[in-house]
Amino acid sequence: MKKIGIITFHNSYNCGSMMESYAIQTVIQRLGYEVEIINFSSKGQQEIYSVRFKNNSIKNILKNIILLPHEKRIKNNNRQYEEFKNKYFNLSKEYHQSSEIIEKYDIVIAGSDQIWNITIDDYDDAYFLNWVKKAKKIAYAPSFGAKKIQDNTDDVSKYIKLLNAFDAISIRENNGQKWIMDLIDKKVPVVLDPTLLLDLCDYEKIICKYKKTFQKYIFFYAPTFDKEICKFVQKISNKYNMKVITWSSKSFYLRRIKKYGFQIVDSESPEIYLNLIKNAELVITTSFHGTIFSTIFRNRFITVKNGNMYGSDDRVLTLLKQMKLENRLMSFSFNNNYNYLEEVDYTDYESVISGLKEKSLTYLKNSLEEKNEK
């Protein structure tokens, strides 16, 4: 049996990252392979998700002072992410440098998530498989995170060389497809995020019962908070007299989001995240994976159009176009006459997702089965 190593952002204390890691591992296991997630985490990634910021600036010192009363809660959240990772992932030994990784695989898969976004703090060349010398290299649905490599490095040739070393490449967004064509003159397929390759029943198995019972609520999932979007959510909450449950403790406390009347969950984990999405009357999100899981649970949802979604960031736009649900992408301009609780039309969703899933799985199967040309 061939052994496959997966390298992705599984160490991020982020529900989307952890769930896509769970999904790609599960899918490949079901295809009959021995699978291991390469337990790599760069120094930058560890710093992003640490309880405290580095005391290397006045700004960070002030942030740590604000977070001090909430450290216990943040530590508990981090502990639960670690518990999820250790419960559900088949992990290799731990690595913090790409040069440390032991190459013991027949095939290595990079992806999914924003592992090819070279501008973020947790990026590392390890995700372009610079450490792989013998194994077959496959990219499954990585994302550039709306950051074009050519615009963000003085060493484009390095990435051209790394991309050309792959045996098979797919990408997650339409812009990424164009950028790879510009870099290496290859048309690569746009495939589904791994989370969409599993079924609803797969997620039902890992949802935990949240100890607090909310009656009717809006779940507002935003990795970071924008004050204008918060005001938009607040107006929807007031219109329907419905409480808002939200997420992302560090950002919640640093940006003083409590002033909008929102309630932060007292515990964060992927299992609770799925529970809150499933049982919400309405999900409002700025997140790619928040959008995905809203559709998986057939929720009423709004994806708020913000920032670069008006420009080069086509992550959510690609997703919603694929699903024929572009009308769920809205600006944060409140309209009191609009029914934000209208049912979402999922009429075409099943057939559309079925076709995209078949295409994506076919790419993955063929990539794994074809002989290594190196």
The kind and range of the H/E element at 220 are strand 217-221
Give the model's pLDDT for residue 111.
Answer: 87
Q: Check: CATH 3.40.50 for 3-198+355-369? A: yes
Same fold yes or no, 3-198+355-369 and 207-343: yes
CATH for the stretch 207-343: 3.40.50.2000
Query: CA 320: distance to chain centroid?
Result: 15
DSSP state for residue 88 in the 8-state scheme: H
For the cut 90, the answer to whether the pLDDT of residue 374 exceeds it is no
Instruction: Give me 144's structure tokens.
Output: 């550039």
For the cut 90, the answer to whether the pLDDT of residue 314 exceeds it is no
Average of per-residue pLDDT values in the chain: 92
Place of tokens 């060349």: 125
Give the model's pLDDT for residue 309.
Answer: 54
Kindly report, residue by residue over 320-337, the tens digit of the pLDDT: 888 889 999 999 999 999
C-alpha 350/C-alpha 137 separation (Å) is 32
Query: Can you give the residue ranges of every domain in the chain?
Result: 3-198+355-369, 207-343
For the cut 80, the answer to whether the pLDDT of residue 212 exceeds it is no
Q: Cα dist. 321→124, 220, 287, 304 in Å? A: 30, 22, 16, 15
C-alpha 102/C-alpha 39 separation (Å) is 11
Give the model's pLDDT for residue 283.
Answer: 98
